[in-house]
Amino acid sequence: MKTAKICLIMLIPLYFINCKPSTESLKLMNEAKETFGVIPAAMPGAENDSAERVELGKTLYFDKALSVDDTISCNSCHNLENSGNGTDNAMVSTGVDGQKGGRNSPTVLNAGFHVAQFWDGRAADLKEQAKGPILNPIEMGMPDANAVIAKVKTNKKYLGLFKKAFPDAEESITYDNLAEAIAAFERTLITKDRFDDFINGNARALTPDEQTGLTHFMEKGCSSCHNGNLIGGNSYRKLGLANEYTTTDVGRFEVTKATEDKFVFKVPSLRNIANTGPYFHDGSIKTLEDAVKKMGWHQLDLKLSDEETSKIVLFLKALSAK
């Protein structure tokens, strides 16, 4: 018994030593916070959102009646049901009449923090983005905004919901207000993960292997594009900057018509990236490991080893919402 007590006493200092974050972890934590920053508590524009407007937006988001044949809702391509990650996990999405879209659907989670919406940045904000798919002939297929509003007005529940959401409007049910309500709901879709805990002061929130992955991510140059509090989503880059990436999609050039924007796309946010595959604008990359290796080669002219790749992937998995 005396020996057991002595052993227990000897273990106590070792326990506290092991629980204390290393100098390297604390240094990495501070570097990461400086490089990426923390996600704000609210998205731009949320200061004007009311509970009634958010509730209306949520109802509209899940309503298939906004499509021409009552088969597609916003949620069809940006799934939030059953802890969905804001995307459909398909190479490209399926719209009305089984038509296939041309690009992979990005997640709606945290989207309101992005510099712009869509892969090519053609919509300035969530409100403008919300107007697009409803009228897109491949996606939801409604012929025009007037047809959308006429259809919405046939549902009596919307009469009260719009009035409560826009009490000062002379005409509350408008296409502009419909998009604003959907945007209000989407502005609530903010996620938190263990990386947030890490940069907010908990140096033990990431495992040693995940911290190694974060170190690789920063030192190899991944953070030169994937930076800011969303770890991306705040800039545009040419796909195939170092080594050509074969694609017929000219990206942002379709919006700007500027030669320098050929094959340029918005840098995706890496928040929740482990759960939002397949990857890239064309949805051609099935695994996160393959995506990391291809980005290393096409963007940084690096051939990442299997070990480096696996550690980076472990870090990226720590960016999944709690």
Task: Answer positive or negative: Cα dihedral of 26, 234, 86, 186.
Answer: positive
Specify the length of the chain in residues. Answer: 322
Q: Hey, what domains does the chain have and what are their CATH numbers?
A: 22-39+192-317 (1.10.760.10), 46-186 (1.10.760.10)
Residues 52, 55, 128, 139: which is the catalytic one? Answer: 139
Mean pLDDT over 62-72 rounds to 98
Is-catalytic flag, 170? no
118 and 129 Cβ atoms separated by less than 8 Å: yes
151 and 143 Cβ atoms separated by less than 8 Å: no
Quickly list DSSP for 135-149: H-TTTT--S-HHHHH
Quote the pLDDT of residue 1. 45
pLDDT at 186 over 60: yes
319 and 231 Cβ atoms separated by less than 8 Å: yes
> Residues of 259-293 as b/e, b for ≥16 C-beta within 10 angstroms?
eebebbbbbbbbbbbbbbbbbbbbbbbeebbbbbb
**CB-based contacts of 132, cutoff 8 Å, min separation 6:** 118, 122, 123, 139
pLDDT at 12 over 60: no
278 and 286 Cβ atoms separated by less than 8 Å: yes
**What rounded mean pLDDT belongs to the chain?**
94
| Number of Cβ atoms within 10 Å of the Cβ of 15 | 9
Tell me the two tokens of residue 46.
């949320």
268-319 confidence digits (pLDDT tens): 999 999 999 999 999 999 999 999 999 999 999 999 999 999 999 999 999 9
**32 in helix, strand or coil?**
helix
pLDDT at 88 over 60: yes
| Number of Cβ atoms within 10 Å of the Cβ of 68 | 20
As a whole number of angstroms, the distance between CA 80 and CA 160 comes to 25
215-246 confidence digits (pLDDT tens): 999 999 999 999 999 999 999 999 999 999 99
Mean pLDDT over 104-126 rounds to 98
**237 in helix, strand or coil?**
strand
Confidence class for position 20, pLDDT limits 50, 70, 90: confident
Quote the pLDDT of residue 19. 61
pLDDT at 149 over 90: yes
**CB-based contacts of 89, cutoff 8 Å, min separation 6:** 79, 276, 277, 278
Tell me the two tokens of residue 291.
């995506």
Task: Give pTM, 2 decimals.
Answer: 0.92
Confidence class for position 21, pLDDT limits 50, 70, 90: confident
266 and 207 Cβ atoms separated by less than 8 Å: no
Phi–psi pair at 320, nearest 5 degrees: -75, 140
198 and 322 Cβ atoms separated by less than 8 Å: no
Distances (CA, A) of 138 to 67, 98, 147: 10, 9, 17
201-223 confidence digits (pLDDT tens): 999 999 999 999 999 999 999 99
Confidence class for position 87, pLDDT limits 50, 70, 90: very high
Task: Answer positive or negative: Cα dihedral of 162, 62, 193, 291.
Answer: negative
pLDDT at 45 over 60: yes
